[in-house]
Amino acid sequence: MGEDRRGTGRRLPKGRERVWLWFALSLFLLGCREEPPPERLRQTPPPLEAQRMMMVERQIRARGVKDSRVLAAMERVPREEFVPPDQRPYAYEDGPLPIGQRQTISQPYIVALMTELAAVEQGDKVLEIGTGSGYQAAILAELTPHVYTIEILPKLAERARNTLRRLGYDDVQVKTGDGYLGWPEYAPFDAIIVTCAPESVPEPLKEQLKDGGRMVIPVGRQWTGQTLYVLRKHGDDLEQEAVIPVRFVPMVH
């Protein structure tokens, strides 16, 4: 009766049996432990400057913007400085971002395209309607020291003014007022860029555009279709060229 007929070996004492069971269980649990993710999956996003360079290559140059001065300006101006803190991680994504007051900072490609279409030369006098965050004004200031920009919303105007000063764009003149009326004290302008959409081109802006000047402006209703136009002034005539469909916030007037 002392022999265990279910096996030929002797049974371990109960104490040792427990030890071996715990040892086997530990090995099993170690083998099932979740492996850490590969190093490439734990990588943090590239620094903002690197993201800015990639933005220019992938979103702007790849879409056909060729002006080397515009591309260089887009590489230099830190877009993250013109958005709220909670939007900074998305500063170089391919789209507009909210900046408060129900307004947005435009998609980087649109900023570059409008700047290229305006054909700004060193020394040109440029008027921007719709300062918003101040980003478009900063891009223009990389091309000419004579930049005038109007924002109808006082909080945005003040914030943009402070941001531009903090980043060293001291020559940009920021006015709080109705952009529909333009800025006759400094007219005529070699170029006018409008970053909000009226339903038709404001007459005061036509009058303040210099002979031979260019106006880049979205026109139309926000939800029924807008088109980006380039207007070129020849004497009393305005040559009009449709560029692409767009969607901008409406001009407040």
Q: Cα(243)–Cα(101) distance, rounded to whole angstroms?
A: 28
Residue of 26, 68, 106, 200 marked catalytic: 106
The full length of the chain comes to 253
Strand order of the β-sheet with 189-194 is 173-176, 146-151, 125-129, 189-194, 209-221, 225-234, 237-246
Helix (H, G, I), strand (E, B) or coil at 84: coil
Residue 200 appears among annotated catalytic residues: no
Distances (CA, A) of 221 to 114, 145, 226: 19, 33, 6
**Helix 68-76 / helix 108-118 crossing angle, nearest 10 deg:** 140
Q: What does the alpha-carbon distance between residue 133 and residue 158 come to, in Å, rounded to a whole number?
A: 10
Active site residues: 106
